[in-house]
Structure 1
Amino acid sequence: MGALCCKPEAIDFDGEVNLFHFVLLRSVGKGAFGKVRVVQHKQTKEIYALKYINKAKCVKMKAVANIIQERRLLEEIDHPFVVNLRYAFQDDENCFFVLDLMLGGDLRFHLERQGSISEAAVRLWIAEVSSALAFLHDKKIVHRDLKPDNILLDEGGHAHITDLNIAVHYSDRRLLTGVAGSMAYMAPEVLNKKGYTFTIDWWSLGVCAYELIFGRRPFRGKTNSDLSHAIVRDPLKFPEDADMKCSKEGISFLLGLLERDPTKRLGCRRDRFSDVQRHPWFASIDWDTLDEKSVTPPYIPDPKKANFDATHELEELLLEDNPLKARKRNPNQDVNTLSKEMQQMEEQFTTYDFKAMQRRSYYPQNHTVSTVTATSSSRPGTPGTPAPDTYQVRSDDAYAPPPPPPLPMTPMGGSKEKFDNVPTALCESAKPRVKSRRI
């Protein structure tokens, strides 16, 4: 008798999204309890960033509420300068976020590679991030962890905010009090513990802009206590060669953002975002067309280079005992036997599919929909992950554009995976994996 051929099991693309819908490519990031990989959707061939978080580690680090909150906030957001959520789902081991892929890397990576960045490039990035912040603040969302690590570039050099892990809704009636974020970028009102709202994001933006232009942060200290004292009390100083790296208008802009009194801070006064837009430093910015990304940025990442730390891929290949792969859920699992935190994730980290949401928005409520898929705006970079100095939130803090017309769905042919339109640098993990030992 001849040997039987193992035919791959058919994938149900009409059912709920899961990891079987994606091809796993390179590992490009690692955080405190989550990792980031590049993936390609097997049906649409679109590439995304997959952020996955181990549930057990999440429970151990008491971050369950943060993960669920990030999942809920991302569903409210769709903006040209935000790393937007496209899919969310879970299996027995991990929670998954499928996000816009940013091929240009994060600003921390470029800052460390270059030392400092030209004022022209920083001006455009700050304008784009300002637009995203204004959008979040209109939604009553404060990011709370804005820093170069959490600003990603797409392949065209445009900036996007990512990582809403400690973002929260705020209210003008009840101020937030939790000490959350990365200390070097915290506003004085966070450290003073007198309560705050959206104003802290504009301070953090000022620290980012200062660091990108001058290659150093405006306030420093050898210990957390020294750093906190510097942020709250030390005068703002500029390097001796500041006039060679930054214009007078740029200095004025930095002074406006790094104003300790939030009622006088740029972006926080009566006119809020309009105040930022009118600043002389942005005289060359066309705010009416900024969101269209029609302007060519002064700095564009080299597409021939991997704009991320390549050691993440090496660690995944050599040191990971339990490499990521698609696994079916245990049908016999009794949710009642799980811990309270695990039950919370099971119930509240719900599945999200942006194409299904588009279809529901596009068609009338009682309209019969055939099997279709919609085009999406793939804003190609990798999502950032929390840095070691990130402070977790305390427990007391607890514009969608019209969808495009749907197009007929093109089924995949054959049993072999196809990697259409995927840069070669992202496909390393698609190669056969050699079994290796921990070293």
Structure 2
Amino acid sequence: MGGVCCCLTEPVDFDAEVTLYHFDLHRAVGKGAFGKVRVVEHKRSKKLYALKYIDKARCIRQKAVANIIQERRLLEEIDHPFVVNLRYAFQDDENCFFVIDLMLGGDLRFHLERKGHIPQDVVRFWMAELSCGLEYLHSQRIIHRDLKPDNILLDAMGHAHITDFNVAIHYSERRLHTSVAGSMAYMAPQVVGRKGYSWQIDWWSLGITAYELLFHKRPFDGRNAEKMTQSILKDPLKFPEDASSRFIERDPEKRLGCRPNGQGLQDIQSHPWFTSIEWDNLKSKECQPPFVPDMKTANFDVTHELDEFLMVEKPLTHSKRKVNPDLDKMKPELRQLEEQFTVYDFSTLQRLSYYPHNQPVTTLGTSTEDTERTVAQSLDGTLIPTATIAERSQAGSPMLDSDSHRYMPPMPPSHGRRVPSTP
């Protein structure tokens, strides 16, 4: 049979539903809230990917089941050159797995901490690529809500990609969101002030990111959540240069990329700071990135590998699933993962849009309060400004006037199924 390959002691049927047995496991290159990120190689195609795996038990303990399922669904809707795209999704008895595009260039936090100073032309190039990615997400009715240097990955060539959709949600034209989610240092005033927000908050976060990359500091600060909130809401905006001032505009209707009379990405393209960008070539990735990661060295924290080598954590292994598990005997959260974290294979399935339902995922068997996460703080109570926090995703206040949606990005061409791009 052409679709079967022998691996270890048992054959792998590549024509059957995708499992971990379809991949060879290589080094660990990152660590998330619920598990590691590893390089994997598809045994038949020989293509390299990143494998993000989620420990189900830890996920349930931290009451993040809804976020994981929401992320799984949103990733299926996305396919763009400047996004880390989903290629496969599946699970075994212990873990849920995302197989995504491999980015070996490291995240921007890694490079910011090691380089200290990043040239303006490099930051401008990354911001241009990320603007294209954000415009695409918003056209798909998706708010990322956690854009920051940690969630921007470079590929081996130096192109920037948006990743980590753990707190991303669909937005509605009819109602604003009020739940607090993201990393506090990058949250827009509309989020921390609980005044209601939509897709415009991502452009604010992009502006904070640009500022931090350019000046190696963030424009707002505070040792606890209250002080950080007041800083974001009231501290004067001071810019050494005009590079990112239009992104960091408290009024969403004056914010670059959001202005009512602007044209989204065209608004950004016409900004003087981006004059040197050749946008057509940039969108097709034909522009040479001004910064290329050194692929002779590891562009990630090597202690991720060391943890498994020293047996600090249980190493990931291939394991067979239980045959015909009894769903009725499972705990509600575990059953929800079993039923709603569905299998996806980009090589055989068309991408499904979940937007028409526009319903946030809720965790079975828990109350709304149980699904909230608290502000991330260190042991001494100091705010960790770059740590992701989240409340249950929900639409809140109605739009203040019927014309509020006039500057929303255009509707996607179709709410139906979309065929993924060629791998």
Contact 2:169 2:393 in 1 (8 A): no
Q: 1:275 to 1:395 in 2, by over 3 A?
A: closer
Q: After superposition, where does 1:393-404 map in structure 2 within 5 Å?
A: 393-397=391-395, 403-404=421-422
Contact 2:151 2:163 in 1 (8 A): yes
Distance 1:90 1:336 in 2: 19
- Flag the 1:175–1:334 CA change in 2: closer, same or farther, 3 A: same
- From 255, 259, 284, the counterpart of 1:269: 259
Report matched runs for 1:377-416 at 5 Å. Answer: 389-397=387-395, 403-404=421-422
Aligned to 2:307: 315
Give SS of 1:105's match: coil
**1:392-421, Cα deviation, whole Å (9 max, x unpaired):** 2325359867755x9xxxxxxxxxxxxxxx
Q: Does 1:345 align with 2:343?
A: no
Give the conservation status (yes or no) of the 8 Å contact 2:53–2:98: yes
Written as runs of structure 1 = structure 2, the 5 A alignment for 1:279-290 is 279-290=271-282
Q: 1:302 aligns with which of 286, 294, 302?
A: 294
**Contact 2:110/2:299 (CA < 8 Å) preserved in 1?**
yes
Distance 1:236 1:110 in 2: 26
Please give the alpha-carbon distance, in whole angstroms, between the structure 2 residues aligned to 1:327 and 1:130. 41
* Structure 2 letter corresponding to 1:49: A
How many Å separate the matches in 1 of 2:169 and 2:258? 18
Counterparts of 1:262 and 1:296, CA distance in 2: 33
The aligned residue for residue 82 of structure 1 is 83
Shift of 1:276: 1.0
The TM-score with structure 1 as length reference comes to 0.80
Q: Which is worse superposed, 283-292 or 386-395?
A: 386-395
Shift of 1:160: 0.2
Once the two structures are overlaid, the 10-residue window that deviates more, 290-299 or 351-360, is: 351-360
- Could you give the per-residue CA deviations for residues 171-215 of structure 1, whole angstroms, max 9, x where no partner exists? 121101110000000000001101000010000000000000111
User: 2:251 is paired with a residue of what secondary structure?
Assistant: coil
8 Å contact kept, 1:23–1:40: yes
Q: Is the 8 A contact 1:219 1:230 kept in 2?
A: yes
What is the rounded CA distance, in whole Å, between the counterparts of 2:190 and 2:54 in structure 1?
31
Q: Report percent identity of matched pairs.
A: 61
Q: Give me the TM-score of the superposition, normalised by structure 2.
A: 0.82
What's the offset of the Cα at 1:290? 1.4
Rate the CA distance shift 1:402–1:51 in 2: closer, same or farther, 3 A.
closer
Q: Label 1:388 to 1:287 Cα distance change in 2 as closer, same or farther (>3 A).
A: closer
Q: Are the structure 2 counterparts of residues 321 and 219 from structure 1 closer, same or farther at C-alpha, using a change threshold of 3 Å?
A: closer
Instruction: Identify the residue that residue 260 of structure 1 maps to in structure 2.
Output: 250
Matched with 2:360 is none
Shift in Å, 1:321 = 4.8
Contact 1:168 1:397 in 2 (8 A): no
Partner of 1:111: 112
The 2-side partners of 1:127 and 1:309 are apart by: 27
* CA shift in 2, pair 1:133/1:403, >3 Å: closer
Cα distance change, pair 303–335 in 1 and its aligned pair in 2 (3 A): same
Query: Aligned-pair distance for 1:252?
Result: 3.0
CA 1:388–1:320 in 2, change beyond 3 Å: closer, same or farther?
farther
Q: Secondary structure at the match of 1:236?
A: coil
Moved over 4 A (4+): 397-404
Q: CA deviation at 1:121?
A: 0.3
Instruction: Name the larger-Rg structure.
Output: 1
Aligned equivalents of 2:394, 2:151: Cα separation in 1? 24
Higher mean C-alpha displacement, 299-308 vs 215-224: 215-224
Question: RMSD between aligned alpha carbons?
Answer: 2.1
Residue type of the alignment partner of 1:47: L
5+ residue gaps, structure 2, are 1-6, 353-383, 397-411, 413-417
Q: Given that residues 358 and 403 in structure 1 are in contact (C-alpha distance below 8 angstroms), is that contact kept between their aligned partners in structure 2?
A: no
Name the structure 2 match of 1:157: 158
Q: Which residue of 1 aligns with 2:15?
A: 14
Q: Deviations over 1:271-307 (max 9, x none)?
A: 2222111111111112222122111111111010100
